[in-house]
Structure 1
């Protein structure tokens, strides 16, 4: 990763709030230039996938709309990306894109993840043949007044509420909760996972810590069938992974993402293994 943050990532994660009503204001020159530079620097996914990102402006006359998500107004600037296919390309893509979302936050910009959109709206911006664009991010400045519709949406999905630790984090097995005290130095990174945004606020990630080892297995629970079918739960998991990785580095505890499923164990049919983070000894 080539993105440097002036502020602690945990502070950016706590401070970011999704925006659905944007003003038509142009991006400040320094902010736009910095975000575009960082976007261009992300070229490889977690499994070596070919990746590319760019900051683009699409004039209002282009009439960009979001299928099943036609609730964003004032969308003018977008972070668009593409990634080559792999067995985990959606998580890898979201992991990279969330770094840019947090960088935008640091630059004073507002953002909104969009997983439902019409590829035709962005046909002039790739992706290359064989690559995928799992999501886009709207970026800009929050409008002075929030629409009533936005407030109703936030209320309906309980956007600010998060599941308790006992539902998300475990030790050894998925039926043994991990407490914040037991998490020790990894309590902050796990809390940042808990605070991650997700489709419909479904929070599909589940994390198991190996006893006596800085090793964490990330699982994904199929909370909503429609979201799972569209790959949105995988994007959500990738965002949570970015939060974990960034705040581990903030705490000077770097690690590596690998595909290393633990010894087969009995787990519910709606939960599947996705990734493992191995901390440096």
Structure 2
């Protein structure tokens, strides 16, 4: 899909919104979102896994079916939710997060606020509302609506608690040829902006688990995850895999805007990793 506005600008400006205005979502915006969800390729991940996303309208957090959706007080006055449905395995979660984040950015372009939610909602209540088959589960949701700019004290408090504005520096996440050498912006060539978009991306509890290694010839960028031990274990799935799909989406959308051609490939480069928590995910190959 092609954005009318700069995707890079959208990624730079986006913040999680938890407090929404009383204004209903415009019918034209609802139609655009529904049209988006009808296009099969919009729900297909780069590694070949396809997820599902449903739009659920709410009034006072109650659906049209009369089901009360639970978000534990984290969301104020949402007008609808986008509910993701996927499979609980490694690459399905990564692909799903890629497609879900691309939709999040599209919704942001329309002027609507969003907030990735992987753990702070009642899955049982959402499962009663949506269409699911054997093996399906809900990795995440996002409320949507127009931001209430005058009453975002709660939003700012949450951002402060999770240190959402404190992003790791390049030397903590990005590497040159091997994990022993930090990558600098000056040495990253044409991939400086796509890599910076990964740095700015949202992640669960702002853990920023992505680790990137740029090859010596600058034609390959290897994506690794550094797992936070026991993070999200009580939820029954590895929430941080969603962060890797988000990182891939941010990276690729920036590349496309900058006319940098490439493709994703899962091919282990067999690098020595710094610790047992670091796991290879995927590589971006320059065409």
Q: Structure 1 length normalisation: TM-score? A: 0.91
1:91 aligns with 2:94: yes
Q: 1:202 to 1:228 in 2, by over 3 A?
A: farther
How has the CA–CA distance of structure 1 residues 43 and 73 changed in structure 2, closer, same or farther, with 3 Å as cutoff? same
Alignment check: 8 A CA contact 1:101 1:111 kept: yes
Q: Once the 2 structures are TM-superposed, how far is the Cα of residue 35 of structure 1 from its aligned partner?
A: 1.8
8 Å Cα contact 1:127/1:133 also seen in 2: no
Deviation string, structure 1 residues 239-269 (Cα, Å, up to 9, x no partner): 1110000001111112211211102424311
In the TM superposition, what are the counterparts of 1:83-232 in structure 2 within 5 Å?
Answer: 83-116=86-119, 117-122=121-126, 123-223=128-228, 225-227=230-232, 230-232=237-239
Report SS of the residue matched to 1:137. strand
SS in 2 for 1:207: strand
Q: Is 2:64 the counterpart of 1:57?
A: no
CA distance in 1, matches of 2:70, 2:154: 16
Q: 5+ unaligned residues in a row in structure 2: which ranges?
A: none
* Distance in 2 between residues matched to 1:71 and 1:199, nearest whole Å: 15
SS of the residue 1:23 aligns to: coil
The alignment yields a C-alpha RMSD, in angstroms, of 1.8
Closer, same or farther: CA 64–251 of 1 in aligned 2, 3 Å: same
Cα distance in 2, alignment partners of residues 254 and 118 from structure 1: 41
Corresponding residue of 1:249: 256
Deviation at 1:40, TM superposition (A): 2.6
CA displacement 1:152-192 (0-9 Å, x = unmatched): 22112221121111111101111211111111110000010
User: Residues 258 and 81 from structure 1, CA distance in 2 versus in 1: closer, same or farther, beyond 3 angstroms?
Assistant: same
Q: Match of 1:186, SS?
A: helix
Partner residue in 1 for 2:47 = 47
Q: Return the offset for 1:144.
A: 4.1
Contact 2:204-2:240 at 8 Å conserved across structures: yes
Aligned length: 276
Q: Compute the displacement of 1:228 (Å).
A: 6.3
Q: Is the 8 A contact 1:220 1:274 kept in 2?
A: yes
Cα distance in 2 for partners of 1:73, 1:266 equals 42
Distance in 2 (CA, whole Å) between partners of 1:15 and 1:151 is: 15
In 2, distance between residues paired with 1:45 and 1:267?
Answer: 29
Contact 1:40 1:53 in 2 (8 A): no
- Once structures 1 and 2 are overlaid, which stretch shifts more, 189-198 or 252-261? 252-261
**Structure 1 unaligned blocks of 5 or more:** none
Q: Does residue 72 in structure 1 map to residue 72 in structure 2?
A: no
1:20 equivalenced with 2:18 (yes/no): yes
Cα distance in 1 for partners of 2:256, 2:229 equals 32
TM-score, normalised to structure 2's length?
A: 0.89
